[in-house]
Amino acid sequence: MISAVDTNVLLDVLMADSTHLALSKPLLDKASLQGKLVINETVYTEIATRFNSESDLLSFLQDTGRYPADTRPGFL
């Protein structure tokens, strides 16, 4: 199964949101056990604002198992 991950769920994990992390992280972990997790170009762009460089963003995505879909927009 392939699951698309929403920006808000990734931000919960990235920012260690005290309200939503306890729900978002286990759901992401469960979904990753069931198959591949992907993000689209919009999610990629929205979370890119939280990183100083594209390499930092790509490291986060790789470390957390959330990979961009086939194409990636330019890093702003």
Q: What is the pLDDT of residue 74?
A: 52
Please, what sign has the CA dihedral across residues 20, 38, 61, 36? positive
| pLDDT less than 50: residues of the chain | 71, 76
User: What is the spatial distance between Cα 67 and Cα 70, in angstroms, rounded to a whole number?
Assistant: 9
Q: What is the pLDDT of residue 52?
A: 93
Could you tell me the residue ranges of all domains in the chain?
A: 2-68
Q: What is the pLDDT of residue 73?
A: 54
User: What is the spatial distance between Cα 8 and Cα 17, in angstroms, rounded to a whole number?
Assistant: 10
User: What is the spatial distance between Cα 16 and Cα 69, in angstroms, rounded to a whole number?
Assistant: 24
**C-alpha angle 62-17-66 in degrees, rounded to nearest 5:** 20
User: What is the spatial distance between Cα 30 and Cα 43, in angstroms, rounded to a whole number?
Assistant: 20
